[in-house]
Amino acid sequence: MSAVEELSCQELVELVTDYLEHALEPGDLRRSEEHIAACGKCTVYLRQMRQTIMVTGALPGGEISAEAEQQLLQVFSGWSST
Amino acid sequence: MRYGRQVLDRDDAALVAALRARDDATFTQLVREWNASMLRVAQIFVPSRAIAEEVVQETWLRVLNALDRFEGRSSLKTWVFRILVNTAKTRAQREGRVVPFSSLRDPGRVPESAVDPDRFRPEDDERYPGHWSSPPRELPEEQLLAAETQAVVERAIAALPASQASVISLRDVQGWSAEEVCNALDITEVNQRVLLHRARAKVRQALEDYLAPETG
Ligand SMILES: [Zn+2]
């Protein structure tokens, strides 16, 4: 029975990060690729995940406040004068 | 996708030499580049942003004082972040906080689903066990980079447990490699991926809820 080998959608969503990180074992990689190729819903899920990474990657990195930078520079100049 | 937000292109030896020569421009450059990441990592261990800022300050002082002992066996970044983690752990103990080591070391111990199990057909479904019953909904491409969408993602990251928020911030916001995150936090590749998986899954859900809400 080949169904034993096949991944369900619920199993596939748990492998998506390992899939995107190229961390799947060959067997799981093959099963994941077969599942994605045959399943439009999981194809949408995978696309959503790539979109999520893209949107997260476009966030501003977080600027340091002028105050915090000033405090750190004081740490540096205190050390510099030693 | 962007790899590496890094503006620094000088090698570590040159950076260390500049710091040892008391070059405050180099110091400022490092502080600007790493501050957001340092705050994120500190907040895995300490309870507030204010204490995290103090931990970052204390870390820099330790880094500067130890600079003559930096041997270049790891990258400067890894070395600085290891000192940060140690400083944050010490501070957390002083604050009487139980340090959530397990959230970094053993994140898989508590199971967590990437997607609400109710969105799948039950195990005993006759034809399609574990297949989508409430399938993922297409996200409108043109709204992905809108400011409102970014705010939704920021809020979703802010709501994550600190260990997950740190890993997704370092990997996906700051553009660090998996190896850099593992080295800086001293965690295994598997644990790094578990934390990233859970973080991304929740951010994905927040995006779907906002951009393609369930109808009816
Ligand atoms: Zn599927």
Specify the pLDDT at position A2.
Answer: 45
Cα dist from B182 to B81, B164, B166, B186, B215, whole Å: 11, 13, 12, 5, 41
Q: Would you say residue B100 lies in a domain?
A: no
With CA atoms as reference, the chain A residue closest to B197 would be: A17
- Verify that B119 and B81 share a domain, yes or no: no
Specify the pLDDT at position B100.
Answer: 60
Comparing CB atoms, the residue among A14, A59, A63 nearest residue B150 is A59
Centre of ligand 1 to C-alpha B179, Å, is 30
Which chain A positions have a beta carbon within 8 Å of B5's beta carbon?
61
Specify the pLDDT at position B8.
Answer: 53
Closest CA to A78 of B196, B160, B57, B86: B57
Specify the pLDDT at position B111.
Answer: 86
**Averages of pLDDT over each 10 residues, chain B, 216 residues:** 48 93 96 94 90 96 95 91 95 79 78 95 93 97 96 96 94 95 94 97 98 88
With CA atoms as reference, the chain A residue closest to B208 would be: A48
- Verify that B54 and B126 share a domain, yes or no: no
Q: Would you say residue B17 lies in a domain?
A: yes
Domain with B25 in it: 10-95
- Verify that B90 and B139 share a domain, yes or no: no
Cβ distance B136 to A45 less than 8 Å, yes or no, reads yes
- Verify that B81 and B136 share a domain, yes or no: no
pLDDT tens-place string over residues A40-66 = 999 999 999 999 999 999 998 888 999
User: In sequence order, what are the beta bridge partners of B132?
Assistant: B120
- Verify that B36 and B121 share a domain, yes or no: no
Say if residues B45 and B163 touch (Cβ distance below 8 Å).
Answer: no
Specify the pLDDT at position B10.
Answer: 67
Specify the pLDDT at position B3.
Answer: 41
- Among B61, B95, B129, the domain boundary falls at B95
Which chain A positions have a beta carbon within 8 Å of B196's beta carbon?
17, 21
Comparing CB atoms, the residue among B65, B130, B203 nearest residue A11 is B130
- Quick one: B197 exposed, middle or buried, by C-beta within 10 A (0-12, 13-18, 19+)? buried
Comparing CB atoms, the residue among A41, A57, A73 nearest residue B28 is A73
- Verify that B116 and B207 share a domain, yes or no: yes
Domain limits, chain A:
3-76
Cβ distance B28 to A69 less than 8 Å, yes or no, reads yes
Rg (CA), chain B: 20
What is the count of structural domains for chain B?
2
- Verify that B51 and B134 share a domain, yes or no: no
Q: Would you say residue B2 lies in a domain?
A: no
Comparing CB atoms, the residue among B32, B39, B136 nearest residue A41 is B136
- Verify that B82 and B151 share a domain, yes or no: no
**Which CATH number does the domain housing residue B37 bear?**
1.10.1740.10
Specify the pLDDT at position A1.
Answer: 39
Which chain A positions have a beta carbon within 8 Å of B208's beta carbon?
48
- Verify that B142 and B179 share a domain, yes or no: yes
Which chain B positions have a beta carbon within 8 Å of A41's beta carbon?
131-132, 135-136
- Verify that B120 and B202 share a domain, yes or no: yes
The model carries a pTM of 0.90
The distance of Cα B1 from the centroid of its chain, to the nearest Å, equals 16
Cβ distance A16 to B114 less than 8 Å, yes or no, reads yes
**Which CATH number does the domain housing residue B206 bear?**
1.10.10.10
| Measured distance CA(A68)–CA(B54) in Å, rounded | 10
Q: Would you say residue B30 lies in a domain?
A: yes
Distance between B139 CA and the closest CA of chain A, angstroms: 7
